[in-house]
A = this chain, B = another copy of it.
Amino acid sequence: MAEGTAWLAVDWGTSNLRVWGMRADGTAAFMRTSDQGMGKLAPDQFAGVLAALVADELAQREAPLDAWICGMAGARQGWVEAPYLDAPADLGSLAYAAVRPPASGHFIAPRILPGVCQKPAGIEDVMRGEETQILGLNALVPSLAGLVILPGTHAKWVRVDGRRIERFATSMTGELFEVLRAHSVLRLSLGGEIDGAGRNEGFAAGLAAGIESPARLPSLLFKVRAGALLSGRQPDWSAGYLSGLLIGAEVGGQRDWIDTGASDVPLVGSPGLCGLYQQGLALLGVASHIVDAADATLAGLRLARELAA
């Protein structure tokens, strides 16, 4: 048992679960992960999975351990549904809108934060988890205002003003890469070693093509196959090209979301993926900086808890 665990910070995604034991001073005493993501669980299994992951912390306690949870645990198919806040949304109210699952017999007091939705027809969109990262970004980035990009399986572009989400859009960029790589004819050009030396060169070529002609994405995609057949492109180059093309088309197709003279766009996600977006923004002359997704999530859960106190 870690000394002085005051509460649990929980990021419960579709595929994975991550739990931090938090001290009263806001630092993390430990972090644990599990593959028991929302997608694998029935509603009555969540409490037991979380309790098992921190069983040593629950022993010898006198009061239930608070757990602040963000992500897909609050989806309709999750633990218990935490209805979305409507965008434009004030993230200061995330904690108040948190949902408490029914008592489970485990010595945990869980609170699940809501996601944010955007309802108007034609721009319908949803997020669960990113809103907590954006709340946390307020503790990490002074005077947060303007565009925030959160690269990932479903990349989010979010117009933010402090704790307020003005509007947002989700691009299926990461998932497009995966389904095309695994299930389309492009797989024939992507078999074998895809992390070789040609990957960076292919990425640069795809990125430039996507940014220049985002509206041509459906035909540029086929260049992955035709380039292998005609120009002898190897799998590493082709994988880089596909990745660059998709990120380039995302960035190029939404360049009107980028403020004129934007000084420093925050990129929230895994540092490796964020670095690829950073290259894309640089082609447009836009500076950016990377914030690790876990840091933002933790800061967001901490701030949500403080705001509820």
Contact = CB atoms under 8 A, between A and B. Distances in A.
A54 interface: no
A184 interface: yes
A72 B89 CA distance: 54
A136 interface: no
A125 to B, nearest CB: 5
Interface in A80-129: 117-119, 121-126
Nearest to A214: B215
A141 interface: no
Interface stretch (A1-9, A43-51, A194-202, A220-228): A220-228
A217 interface: yes
Interface residues on A, range: 35 or more
A252 interface: yes
A60 interface: no
Determine how many copies of this chain the complex contains.
Answer: 2
Contacts of A123: 223
Of the candidates A76, A125, A249, the one having the most CB atoms from chain B within 10 angstroms of its own CB is: A125
20 contacts: A117-B226, A117-B229, A117-B230, A119-B231, A121-B231, A125-B226, A170-B226, A171-B218, A171-B219, A171-B222, A172-B184, A172-B222, A175-B185, A214-B214, A215-B253, A216-B253, A216-B254, A217-B249, A219-B250, A219-B253
Main secondary structure of the interface of A (DSSP, over half): helix
Contacts of A180: 179
A61 interface: no
Given A179-B179, A179-B180, A183-B179, A173 B218 contact: yes
Contact of A125 (B182, B184, B222): B222
Contacts of A175: 184-185
A124 B206 CA distance: 13
B183 A223 contact: no
A208 to B, nearest CB: 10
